[in-house]
Amino acid sequence: MITVLIAYNNDENETCRHFFEECATDIRNHCLTSGIDVQLLTPPDLTEEQFAKHSETSQICYVASHGSPKSVVNEKGEEFISTNTANYSLNGQCFFAVSCHCAKELKDALFRIGLKLFVGYNNTYTLFPDCDEFTQSANSGLKAFIEGMSVAQMKEYIYAEYDRLYEILDTRSAIMADALLDNKEAIIIAGEDSLTINDLL
């Protein structure tokens, strides 16, 4: 049985709380509908120790929280996964992050310890509150992977979804559409093209 760990920052003082929460809820609902088990990890338990503990019993980790080139951080700005932390629980797993910049250095550090798939951003992730197109695009990859697409198919699907949602947004707001395009250009998808969710069983 596949289990997805959903770790997200929903702290009441977090300015991006609603977006992180919307992303996490959307993935949770999709997992449950698809018969995938989920674990949830939120503040005050969004720590290095708790992330390592929960990720040991998951095959896929999904994170929605602030990031940097070297890390993803919790509500206190503390690293719970980084180039400086022990990440061996992610050996053989897949990692999806809605986090700024983490594809710069964190990605390579995770692959060195045996990560199979990384999907994240190498630049600032821009969002607009209450704009569903940003949640849809951010979650399109993991949803496609859960549905059985290979990494190669998932890549095509992600880019196609960004393009589709860009066209929709462009009729409403050029500024929001341009931000979505920036996110598309920042996304990094790294892993063997033939990998599917069945390979994690």
Q: How far apart (Å, rounded) are the C-alpha atoms in residues 118 and 87? A: 14
Coil vs helix vs strand at 61: strand
In the prediction, which pLDDT does 129 show? 81
Give per-residue pLDDT as tens, 37-74. Answer: 999 999 999 999 999 999 999 999 999 999 999 999 99
Domains of the chain: which residue ranges?
3-200
Give per-residue pLDDT as tens, 92-133. Answer: 999 999 999 999 999 999 999 999 999 999 999 999 888 999
Strands (E), the chain: 3-8, 37-41, 60-64, 67-68, 71-73, 79-82, 94-98, 117-121, 187-191
pTM > 0.95? yes
Q: Which residues contact 130 (CB under 8 A, 6 or more apart)?
A: 18
Give per-residue pLDDT as tens, 134-191. Answer: 999 999 999 999 999 999 999 999 999 999 999 999 999 999 999 999 999 999 999 9
Q: How far apart (Å, rounded) are the C-alpha atoms in residues 161 and 167? A: 10
In the prediction, which pLDDT does 170 show? 96
In the prediction, which pLDDT does 190 show? 98
Q: Which two tokens stand for residue 67?
A: 């990031």
Residue 152 neighbours by CB distance under 10 Å: 15
The partner residues of 67 in beta bridges, in order of sequence, read: 72
Angle of the 151-170 helix axis to the 174-186 helix axis, nearest 10: 160
Please name the CATH architecture into which domain 3-200 falls.
3-Layer(aba) Sandwich (3.40)
Among left, alpha and beta (phi > 0; psi -120 to 50; other), residue 5 is beta
What strands, in cross-sheet order, belong to the sheet with 79-82? 67-68, 71-73, 79-82
pLDDT tier at 201, thresholds 50, 70, 90? confident
Specify whether the CB–CB gap between 21 and 62 falls below 8 A.
Answer: no
